[in-house]
Amino acid sequence: MRDYLQRLQAPLSSEQWTVLDQAVVRAAQSVLIGRRIMSLVGPFGAGVEVLPSDTVRSGTLGQIDLLGEAEGEAIGIERRRFLPLPILYTDFWVH
């Protein structure tokens, strides 16, 4: 896994990171409900500026086959756009 949090550059031990991770998860679980009511993806990590948005070419209905050998029309991406990803942030202090 990439070190997208850049933990190696922080002056914290692995035990301190574990405690911090647990605190963040508890705080997030108490207020976040977005993933329960809408389809979300991520996290993507630091440095991501755009995300692909694909439009799938409509085709025929899907096939049902026990072995997956039924002939059918393949679907594909009709158009791919890259959408800018705004950064949502706030400053905070950890005492």
What backbone torsions phi and psi does residue 81 show, to the nearest 5 degrees? -115, 155
- Residue 32 one-letter amino acid: L
Inter-CA distances, 79 with 50, 52, 74, 83, Å: 16, 10, 16, 13
The pLDDT of residue 78 is: 86
Query: pLDDT-based confidence at 69, cuts 50/70/90?
Result: confident
Residue 15: its pLDDT value, please?
92
Does the structure show a pLDDT above 60 at 1? Answer: no
Q: What is the pLDDT of residues 12-68, one digit of tens each?
A: 888 998 999 999 998 888 877 766 677 777 777 777 888 888 888 776 677 777 887
pLDDT of residue 19: 94
Q: pTM of the full predicted structure?
A: 0.38
Per-residue confidence (pLDDT) for residue 34, from 0 to 100: 66
